[in-house]
Structure 1
Amino acid sequence: MTHLLFLFFGAAIVNNFVLVRFLGLCPFLGVSNKISAAFGMGIATTFVLLMTSMGCYAVNSLVLIPFNLQSLDLIMDIVIIALTVQLVEIAIRFISYDLYNALGIYLPLITTNCVVLGLVLLQNSLQFSFSEACVFALGAGTGFTLVLTLFAAIRERLAISDVPEPFKNTAIALITAGLLSLAFMGFAGFAGSAA
């Protein structure tokens, strides 16, 4: 149980996919203007991470490895990611059309979000068990949601602050992202070798 907690904490904070591994920067910068959109994107991405993690693990262990088809691993992972994102897009459009409009083009772009593919490839290379893969995916999704929401809150505050002209908009966003990254890197070593 302690191992799974370290794995979760390691994926969420210590080795955060956005601020430490630098994956998923496109939605990080693109959807972080409003807290509601950032939180919705984080939850959608977390769900996609968990579903693709489970789906890819099942396909790898039940089909590809027993039939010696590991060379199709990347292709199958991409197909599973695309199917999962389509299902999430349909569900969000049905559940909350306002959130669907707020996320805009970034929702279908979860398919090409390197966080999702990076997670699947990393858990395959680390040879996680099913429970470890699920906890790792939840940790990565929680960390992604946390960082996206935190960054959106800071950007909302910066929008009403008196920022010098040369630093407005993208410049201050990148400076803030760098400072957040430094803060998260301060956790290195807390979770030992948790992924």
Structure 2
Amino acid sequence: MENLLSIFVKSIFVDNMIFAYFLGMCSYLAVSKTVKTSTGLGLAVIFVLGITVPVNYIINNYLLGPGALAWLSPSLVDMDLSFLSFIMFIAVIASMVQLVEMIIEKFSPALYSSLGIFLPLIAVNCAILGGSLFMQEREYVNITEATVFGLGSGVGWFLAIVGIAAIREKLKYSNVPAPLRGLGITFIITGLMGIAFMTFMGIKL
């Protein structure tokens, strides 16, 4: 249980997709103009990461990895299909994003309209693929750890985009120098938030 808590907390604060690895910056910067749209996209990212990371864990461990096909036949023990990881991971991510897009369009047309092109672009959001690749690299021992990591990574991305959206809403009433208005001040604040999140590296779990 302590190990799962450690993975969850580290994936949110220490290994934050935005502030530690700068993954998913395109959607982070483009959609974070209002808290409402940022919340919708953040929840969609949590859902997609929470589903795709464990699914890709199963695919990696029982189909693609070295010796992963041994459960089918002893003659396949030397089979290594890891070179297919990228295309398989992306196929799973694209399928899940399509599902999320259909659900949001059905139950929240206003949110679907406000997210616009950035909703289907979750499929090419490098934070989503990064979650599966980090899962593969860190070699989690079971699907529970992979799922916790996926959910934690999604929550970390959610906190990052909602946090910057709340700040950007307040900046509308601030006297920001003209050359820095828009993305300029957003980059500066993102850097400061990244430095703030670095303080969590001192957490011992």
Please confirm whether the aligned pair reaches a TM-score higher than 0.5, indicating the same fold: yes
Residues 31-89 of structure 1 deviation map (CA, whole Å, 9 limit, x = unaligned): 10000100110000110001111211122223232153222122111110111111111
Structure 1: stretches of 5+ with no match in the other structure = none
The aligned residue for residue 84 of structure 1 is 96
Bigger radius of gyration among the two: 2
Structure 1 length normalisation: TM-score?
Answer: 0.95
Once residues 21 and 202 of structure 2 are traced to their aligned partners in structure 1, the CA distance between those partners, rounded to angstroms, is 15
Partner SS, residue 188 of structure 1: helix
Residues 1-195 of structure 1 aligned to structure 2 (within 5 Å):
1-64=1-64, 65-66=68-69, 68=79, 69-128=81-140, 129-191=142-204
How many residue pairs match? The answer is 192
Percent of aligned positions with the same letter in both sequences? Answer: 41
Question: What is the CA RMSD across the aligned residues, in angstroms?
Answer: 1.2
Return the offset for 1:105: 0.9
CA distance in 2: counterparts of 1:175 and 1:84, whole angstroms:
33
Give, in whole Å, the separation in 1 of the partners of 2:35 and 2:204.
29
3-state SS in 1 of match to 2:201: coil
Which structure has more relative contact order (CA 8 Å, sep 6+)? It is 1
> Residues of 2 paired with 1:142 and 1:191: CA distance?
20
How far apart are residue 16 of structure 1 and its match? 0.5
Task: Deviation per CA, 1:124-181: give whole Å up to 9, x if none.
Answer: 1111120110000111000110111010000000012111212211111111111111
Q: In 1, distance between residues paired with 2:192 and 2:23? A: 17
Deviations 1:2-55 (A, max 9, x none): 111111010001111101111110111011000010011000011000111121
Moved over 4 A (4+): none
Taking structure 2 as the reference length, what is the TM-score of the superposition? 0.90
